[in-house]
A and B are shown apart, each in its own frame.
Chain A
Amino acid sequence: MTTSVLEISGVSKAFGGVIANNDISLNVPEGKITGLIGPNGSGKTTLFNSIVGYHPIDDGSIKFQGNEISTMLVQDIARLGLIRTFQQTRIFSKMNCVDNLLISIPHRESTWRDMFTPYDQETLDKAETLLEFVGLYQKRFLIAGELSFGQQRLLEFATALMNNPKVLLLDEPTAGINPTLINGLIDRLHRANTDFGITLFVIEHNMRVIMNLAENIYCLAHGELLAHGTPDEIQNDQRVIDAYLGAH
């Protein structure tokens, strides 16, 4: 039994009368890939936002490596090594790819003096290695905003890796990417997990992707935790099938 790097217990969040998350408890085991699925509007992104501190939660607790983070600010949580990507790809659109990576180095130990020093060769090498990893090495001097959508996704993934996170929350990493690129991306996500030792927590709509990727999956519906299990268990769970097909 591996330890949980992220422990969420009894988290609730309502926006006015809409209950987006209701008493959700789940664990993300260290060093593994965990999936989060659920129909549109089931509260997946809200849960991500709660975890990274985008809004305060109404109730419950979120622990990262045993420490309560539910009352911390976005930047402080990020500096702990808990990084997220966005459902709508967000890159620094007027900077080139290399600069996008350089700025994404961890800011955990950055001091006032670091602000006024140039980047060292080691950091540059790492940026180039990661650009090569996602297949953007040739295009590394292009302005990020001018890349294709799929390439921007890959770039965002590389920037997240550059940050050396302990846990990476990915919000629909394959949305809008063409099927051929998706296979490459699944492979890269696996490698990020095995080669770089990053724990992944992935929201995904594409069932083929999540079933190939995650070792255990949580399913949300109507803001509540519906099911939890291995990909096989989830695939054969009648409640999950009903939720997706709208049997309620």
Chain B
Amino acid sequence: MTKLYKGVDSFETNERKQLPFYIALLAFGIIAPILFPNYILQIAILWVMVLFAQTWDIMGGQMGYNSLGNVTFFGIGMYVSAIVQVGMVYDVGQYTSAAGGAVGTAASLAVGQGKFTADQYYEGIIYGILAAGVVATLFAPLLGWLLFRLRLAYFAIGSLAVALTAPELIGSWQWVGGGGGIAMPVHPGSADARSEFFYMLCFASAIVTFIFIKWLYSTRFKLAINAIRDDEDKAEALGIYTLRHKNIAWAISAFFLGISGAIFGNMTGFIEPLEVAFPTITFGIFMVAMPLLGGKGTFWGPVLGAIVFHIAKELTWTYLLGWQWVALGMLIIITVVFFQQGIMGWAQEKWPSKFGVVIDETAMDARTKEEAS
């Protein structure tokens, strides 16, 4: 028998066909900040968005669990890194009551300045990012224990409730600054050096996530979570370890979101629960909207969705100021109502053969063989 399975000519599994896109993405990431130094922050956030979309799609697109609460891990990561970075040098409680006391004023930021040497800063941020990833990962099965009893819309609402509760809990926790937040350690270098440093972190975290997910989808794990999406009862009837897969899928999302939160918190410089750490109505919604726009349940869909969405967002902020939220809301509504399959889903319907959905005319099936003999 011919070994045709490997020969499926699907765009999403054929590495040679994807190579130009890998190169384009990598080249853009390296050259764009050099060509457009004024937009370095916007491009950095583009990478954050790509990471958001890809990590959401593991659960929402591939596994069919539409989480509205993924932003929770982002916020957890942010706070964990803050606690670790501050805690490595100072007592966190004293630091927050001194530096974070007066909310976000220039004076309070000034108190924070110069408190960390360059060595302390870099050492802190490395440990902070790692701890953020680890702790966020640990939270995934914990929340999963609670939420994976729910399915479909109930899971979505349950996860949303978690995302809405988290800032309230943090907000009433004075040790980490409560609603007043924490001033993050200040980068020791110049403004330009700082931008480049955080750009590289955002870019690197997105690329690592991209590669990891690419690998993940080449393993049995992908088919198992696809099976859970298509029919969870049937997956159970087959003996698939469904809960184990669900927990791992969420933990993977949580790990990268935690890291992303740590980077973003440091980039912002000042974190507080509602607007920065757990921004449910902005980042929390973007995470869902981007994969939907690009085509959920595909590999490139979320990446493409993040790029298109981010560009649309930046354009509306520039040219439709005052109406930017209306325009963005329209984009989301149009996607959800009229364009559910997203860009990649649409492409797959339009050109199924490019995605390996073909009838193998050359092969004889058993029945034709029987008839022929």
Residues in A lying within 8 Å of B, measured CB to CB: 52, 74-76, 78-79, 83-84, 86, 90-96, 98-99, 102-104, 106-108, 110, 112, 114-119, 121, 124-125, 127-129, 131-143, 159, 163, 184
Contact = CB atoms under 8 A, between A and B. Distances in A.
A129 B1 CA distance: 8
B354 interface: no
Contacts of A52: 237
B357 A116 contact: no
Contact of B365 (A84, A91, A114, A135): A135
A12 B106 CA distance: 74
Nearest to B230: A92
Contacts of B224: 103, 115
- 10 shortest interchain CB distances as A-B pairs: A78-B239, A92-B230, A107-B239, A135-B367, A137-B365, A79-B239, A103-B223, A90-B234, A116-B219, A124-B5
A74 B360 contact: no
B366 A115 contact: no
A86 B226 contact: no
Given A94-B226, A115-B224, A143-B357, A107 B5 contact: no
B358 interface: yes
Nearest to A133: B366
Contacts of A110: 241
B311 interface: no
Interface string B217-258: 011110110110111011111111110110010000000000
A94 to B, nearest CB: 5
| Residue picked from B216, B241, B244, most chain A C-beta under 10 Å | B241
A141 B8 contact: yes
Interface of B: 1, 3-6, 8, 216, 218-221, 223-224, 226-227, 229-231, 233-242, 244-245, 248, 297, 356-361, 363-367
A210 B356 CA distance: 39
A128 B220 CA distance: 17
Contact of B236 (A78, A98, A99, A114): A78
Nearest to A77: B239
Contact of B226 (A99, A132, A139): A99
20 contacts: A90-B233, A90-B234, A91-B231, A95-B223, A96-B356, A103-B226, A103-B227, A107-B238, A112-B244, A115-B221, A116-B219, A117-B220, A124-B3, A124-B6, A125-B3, A128-B4, A131-B365, A135-B366, A137-B363, A141-B359
A112 B244 CA distance: 9
Nearest to B361: A138
B353 to A, nearest CB: 9
Nearest to A128: B1
Nearest to A100: B227
Given A83-B237, A135-B366, A92 B220 contact: no
Given A141-B8, A143-B357, A99 B248 contact: no
Given A78-B237, A92-B226, A141-B357, A132 B365 contact: yes
Nearest to A163: B238
Contacts of B4: 128
A86 B234 contact: yes
A192 to B, nearest CB: 13
| Residue picked from B8, B235, B248, most chain A C-beta under 10 Å | B235
A184 B224 CA distance: 31
A118 B365 contact: no
Contacts of A74: 236-237
Nearest to A84: B237
Contacts of B227: 92, 95, 103
A137 B236 contact: no
| Residue picked from B1, B4, B224, B238, most chain A C-beta under 10 Å | B238
A117 B229 CA distance: 20
Contacts of A92: 226-227, 230-231, 234-235
Nearest to B226: A95
A140 B360 contact: yes
B163 to A, nearest CB: 27
A138 B233 CA distance: 28
| Residue picked from A108, A119, A141, most chain B C-beta under 10 Å | A141
A113 B356 CA distance: 28
Contacts of B244: 112, 115
